[in-house]
């Protein structure tokens, strides 16, 4: 069995996440099978596509319910970018989307000088730079880190979500991923 299940929601680049995991010595598979999601040691909900199409795919495949049950059971899950946003209750994206609701909070269109917010930015209080590429942003009482005042990391029990892309953030990103993997 693979070390990590990367949840498939139908579109986009999962190759970079898998490459980063490989670099850390972890094998991975990309799938949306509910049983595999429930049983995996570690699950990554990656950051690709749009909120509506992602939730439709997760609902249709049963992956959404599996992710909720997994959360209730205390299974470690990392959400990246859109994957973090999907863990909240609702998103303003695509005219309004009901998300997984693992954490309290919602997702709104980013109000910033330039949108999308692209590039490397410092994350407080970790004092480390990571790569961001987003037009929406979460707000949650479970916020554990911010960047330019925006919520960029949330944590509740076994779910950890980050707005940045650790798989695209050089050594800082790899270190972060490695630490996440020890949460298992």
Positions annotated as catalytic residues are 81, 165, 167
Q: Which residues is 77 bridged to in the sheet? A: 43, 159
Tally the C-alpha atoms within 13 A of residue 140's C-alpha that lie toward its C-beta: 32
Out of 13, 27, 35, 59, which residue is the one contacting another protein (CB under 8 A)? 13
Stretch that binds another protein, among 33-41, 60-68, 95-103, 166-174 (CB under 8 A): 166-174
- Checking DSSP bridges between strand 42-45 and strand 117-123, what pairing results, if any? unpaired
Instruction: Candidates 42, 132, 160, 176: give the one binding another protein (CB under 8 A).
Output: 132
Which position among 118, 124, 141, 183 is part of the footprint of another protein (CB under 8 A)?
118
Contacts of 116 (CB under 8 A, 6+ apart): 110, 133, 134, 135
Q: Does 70 engage in binding with another protein (CB under 8 A)?
A: no
Site for another protein in 16-35 (CB under 8 A): 16, 19-20, 22-23
Span from 1-9, 67-75, 101-109, 164-172 in contact with another protein (CB under 8 A): 164-172
Q: Convert 96-139 into a string of H (helix), E (strand) and C (coil).
A: CEECCCCCCCEEEECCCCCCCEEEEEEEECCCEEEEEEECEEEE
Residues of this chain that interact with another protein (CB under 8 A) are: 11-13, 15-16, 19-20, 22-23, 48-50, 53, 82, 113-121, 129, 131-135, 148, 165, 167-174
């Amino acid at each position: 069995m693979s070390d990590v299940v990367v949840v498939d929601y139908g579109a986009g680049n999962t190759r970079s996440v898998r490459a980063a995991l490989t670099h850390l010595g972890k094998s991975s598979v990309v799938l949306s099978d509910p049983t595999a999601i429930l049983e995996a040691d570690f699950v990554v909900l990656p950051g690709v596509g749009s909120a509506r199409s992602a939730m439709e795919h997760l609902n249709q495949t049963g992956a959404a319910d599996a992710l909720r049950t997994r959360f209730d059971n205390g299974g470690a899950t990392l959400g990246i970018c859109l994957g973090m946003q999907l863990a909240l209750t609702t998103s303003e994206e695509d005219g309004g989307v009901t998300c997984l609701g693992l954490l309290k909070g919602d997702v709104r269109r980013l109000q910033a000088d330039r949108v999308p917010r692209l590039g490397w930015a410092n994350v407080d209080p970790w004092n480390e730079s990571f790569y961001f590429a987003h037009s929406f942003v979460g707000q949650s009482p479970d916020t554990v880190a911010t960047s330019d005042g925006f919520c960029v990391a949330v944590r509740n029990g076994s779910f950890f979500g980050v707005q940045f892309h650790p798989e695209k953030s050089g050594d800082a990103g790899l270190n972060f991923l490695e630490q996440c993997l020890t949460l298992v």
